[in-house]
Amino acid sequence: MALLGVLWFGLDALARDELGAPLLVGLLLACLGSFEALSVIVRSVAKLGAAAAAADRLLALATAPASIQDPAVPVAFKPGRLFLENVRFGHDPDHPVLDGLSLDVPVGHRVAIVGPSGAGKSTLAELVLRLRDPQGGRVLIGATDLHTVRQEDLHRHVALLGQSAPVFIGTIRSNLLIARPDADDAALWQALDDAQLGDVVRSLPDGLDTAMGEAGHSLSTGQARRLCLARTLLSPAGILVFDEPTSGLDRATERAFLADLARATQGRTVLLITHAELPDGTADAIWRLRDGKLVPQRASMPATAVSARLSTMST
């Protein structure tokens, strides 16, 4: 309407020689140009309601009580074997994704949990980290039930590398120090070497202080996963949980990552949750999650022995 109005009155003024043709063209172009600026304001006003609703949701999340609470009188955390005893959990209580699941992971052993998407593998990782509480059964480290210890103490001894672990905008050093703020350069380089990324970082002009992300150096997908692995290895945690750590990697990069995992995690307890094909030596035992329970695919300890140990522990 504005454009038609300028054109209508402009042509009339042009016919009466009150306005020159170049000026009329300039007015029309100025009118068109003003739409670009005004359209941003119009779109912003249209999005204001959605932004306000999103802000309300964020505020509700920020002020909501935590779903997992620390015990009123926490017990001291004592590292040890990882036990899951007759664990039951499901978003729909009538259809649990985990139903009577038991697992015994000795200290320093690497256990892989495999199975199709939706079988409950990530739920199992969340229970070990006490991001959720089981609806039945127990999760223990040593002889300590996880719901009796402070979450801060638990997460100091159990670390997670998930499938969506990010490389943050910043330097390589700042990305690593998230896991252990007091780590010195020797520890940072050791973690990078263990993750087979040390030589790559040494080749960069600024080394550990190389900027990552926007306006900084960009790592390949495989290198980014190795940086996340180095960050996890830098943690002092004795139990490492890997939830689909090779997600998004091509097959060759995936095999190389998994082949290095056993050497990099030597001496620590590892729970590796994956759907990938595992190279020989990656895990001491492989269990398949099926119908809410673990079925031995290749176990260093037979299922009957695990059940016997869990029964003895319960007694």
How does pLDDT run along the chain (315 residues), one tens digit per residue?
888 888 888 888 888 888 888 888 888 888 888 887 777 787 787 788 888 899 999 999 888 887 888 888 999 888 899 999 999 998 887 888 999 899 999 999 999 999 888 888 889 999 999 999 999 999 999 888 999 999 999 998 999 998 888 888 889 999 999 999 999 999 999 999 988 899 999 998 889 999 887 555 678 888 888 999 999 999 989 999 999 888 877 888 888 888 888 888 888 999 999 888 888 888 899 999 888 888 888 655 444 444 445 444 444
For the beta carbon of residue 129, count every other beta carbon within 10 angstroms.
Answer: 21
107: Cβ contacts below 8 Å, ≥ 6 apart = 79, 80, 81, 238, 269
* Superfamily covering domain 82-314: P-loop containing nucleotide triphosphate hydrolases (3.40.50.300)
Largest separation between any pair of C-alpha atoms in the chain: 105
Provide the pLDDT for residue 314: 46
Number of helical (H) and strand (E) elements in the chain, helices listed first = 10, 12
Instruction: Check: CB of residue 87 under 8 Å from CB of residue 127.
Output: yes
Provide the pLDDT for residue 42: 78
Beta strand pairing status for 285-290 and 211-212?
Answer: unpaired
The full set of domain ranges for the chain reads: 2-63, 82-314
Give the up-direction half-sphere exposure of residue 18: CA atoms within 13 A in the CB hemisphere. 7
Chain-centroid distance of CA 78 in Å reads: 26
Write the CA distances from 242 to 90, 112, 239, integer angstroms: 21, 9, 10
Provide the pLDDT for residue 216: 53
How many Å apart are CA 208 and CA 293, to the nearest integer? 44
Instruction: Check: CB of residue 227 under 8 Å from CB of residue 167.
Output: yes
74: Cβ contacts below 8 Å, ≥ 6 apart = 148, 149, 150, 153
Provide the pLDDT for residue 214: 59
pTM exceeds cut of 0.75: no
Provide the pLDDT for residue 109: 93
Write the CA distances from 220 to 7, 143, 259, integer angstroms: 55, 42, 18
How many Å apart are CA 48 and CA 51, to the nearest integer? 5
